[in-house]
């Protein structure tokens, strides 16, 4: 998946402090763990799509959707904290 990562765009005033996020999925005997810096969510979603599109991977579009949903929920919680 070389070339999938590009510089992150983080809104002004948002301090990520190099915060590393993690998403994980257990599917049968496979365990997928994705670690990424806050602000790089689009890059991880692109990686999910690349893996799901690869017929040789056990990772499918449903898995990509589940992890994307988990990421969205986490972003929602972060926004709620900022708005307090």
The number of distinct structural domains making up the chain is: 1
* pLDDT averaged over 10-residue windows placed end to end, the chain, 84 residues: 42 63 94 93 96 96 97 89 81
pLDDT, residue 81, reads 82
Look at residue 82 and tell me if it is in a domain.
yes
Domain of residue 71 covers 60-84
Sign of CA dihedral 64, 66, 69, 73: negative
Look at residue 75 and tell me if it is in a domain.
yes
pLDDT, residue 12, reads 53
pLDDT, residue 15, reads 57
């Amino acid at each position: 998946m070389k070339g999938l990562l590009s510089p992150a765009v983080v809104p002004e005033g948002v301090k990520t402090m190099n915060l590393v996020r993690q998403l994980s999925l257990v599917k049968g005997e496979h365990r997928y763990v994705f670690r990424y810096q806050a602000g790089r969510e689009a890059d991880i979603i692109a990686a999910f799509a690349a893996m799901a599109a690869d017929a040789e991977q056990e990772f499918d579009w449903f898995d990509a959707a589940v992890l994307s949903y988990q990421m969205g929920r986490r972003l929602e919680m972060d926004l709620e904290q900022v708005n307090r």
